[in-house]
Amino acid sequence: MPASQPSVLVVEDEAAQREVLAYNLQAEGYDVARAESGDDALLLVEEAPPDVIILDWMLPGVSGIEICRRLKSRTETRSIPVIMLTARSEEGDRVRGLEIGADDYVVKPYSVAELMARVRTQLRRIRPTTVGMRLEFEDIVLDSETYKVTRNKRPIKLGPTEFRLLATFMDKPGRVWSREQLLDRVWGRDIYVDTRTVDVHVGRLRKALCKHGGTNPVRTVRSAGYALG
């Protein structure tokens, strides 16, 4: 396969589900790696970091949520988008999954077509069309070629969703974005994501931007949405 082939790691202990996913991902042209357990997944990610990880919540041994937490707490792996698969459909679990750093969340039983759309969305996000764009707002600088963000010249680490959110805000400072507009722009129109997801990621973006001090630059506009500055 060519080196530019996007790669997807499927972490699922149930063989039938794992193979269905691998089959469909290969049919879409992805390079697919498989892991049956969280420990296998961590080893594989270390050996060959994939572009996207599909991670089942319920795994024997180390749970999917713990794997996600570990991946997102390490500098080398935190920018890899993680799509969590789960049988839990309760809103609290969904928010919990997003809070520990999952980039998206799909409830079983899922439609394979929908999951494929979400993989494409994650890939679009890490490989944006606006390559080479450099945006500045006050002391924040975003470079979409190197994926680096700095504030007051100090590096800010962001996950792919937060990076794209910030790029959207910085593209039009002062503009008020509704949650629905942010969903369209950052997550993509072809998938269903709850508007509360936007709040979770905006919260994460604010936290990252204020890590070294400084005021929160992302305003909440009552009953309207969010704006930068």
- Distance of alpha carbon 185 from alpha carbon 77, whole angstroms: 25
Q: Among residues 11 and 209, whose Cβ is nearest to Ca ion? A: 11
- Residues lying near Ca ion in the complex (CB under 5 A) are found at 13, 56, 58
| Closest to 194 measured CA to CA, from 119, 115, 105, 131 | 105
Please list, in sequence order, all residues whose beta carbon lies within 8 angstroms of the beta carbon of residue 227, skipping any fewer than 6 positions away. Answer: 169, 174, 175, 176, 177, 218, 219, 221
Kindly state the smallest distance separating residue 116's Cβ from Ca ion, in Å: 19
Torsions phi, psi of 153, nearest 5?
70, 5
- Distance of alpha carbon 77 from alpha carbon 74, whole angstroms: 6
Kindly state the smallest distance separating residue 13's Cβ from Ca ion, in Å: 5
Torsions phi, psi of 95, nearest 5?
-65, -40
Kindly state the smallest distance separating residue 109's Cβ from Ca ion, in Å: 13
Q: Among residues 55 and 170, whose Cβ is nearest to Ca ion? A: 55
- Distance of alpha carbon 67 from alpha carbon 41, whole angstroms: 8
Kindly state the smallest distance separating residue 88's Cβ from Ca ion, in Å: 12
Kindly state the smallest distance separating residue 155's Cβ from Ca ion, in Å: 36
Instruction: Supply 109's token pair.
Output: 């039983």
Kindly state the smallest distance separating residue 103's Cβ from Ca ion, in Å: 19
Q: Among residues 61 and 174, whose Cβ is nearest to Ca ion? A: 61
Q: Among residues 31 and 56, whose Cβ is nearest to Ca ion? A: 56
Q: Among residues 13 and 39, whose Cβ is nearest to Ca ion? A: 13
Helix then strand count (H, E) for the chain reads 8, 12
- Distance of alpha carbon 58 from alpha carbon 63, whole angstroms: 6
Q: Among residues 35 and 98, whose Cβ is nearest to Ca ion? A: 35
Q: Among residues 56 and 162, whose Cβ is nearest to Ca ion? A: 56
Kindly state the smallest distance separating residue 34's Cβ from Ca ion, in Å: 13
- Distance of alpha carbon 62 from alpha carbon 28, whole angstroms: 30
CA distances from 6 to 10, 127, 139 (A): 13, 10, 34
Residue 113: CA count within 13 A, CB half-sphere: 1
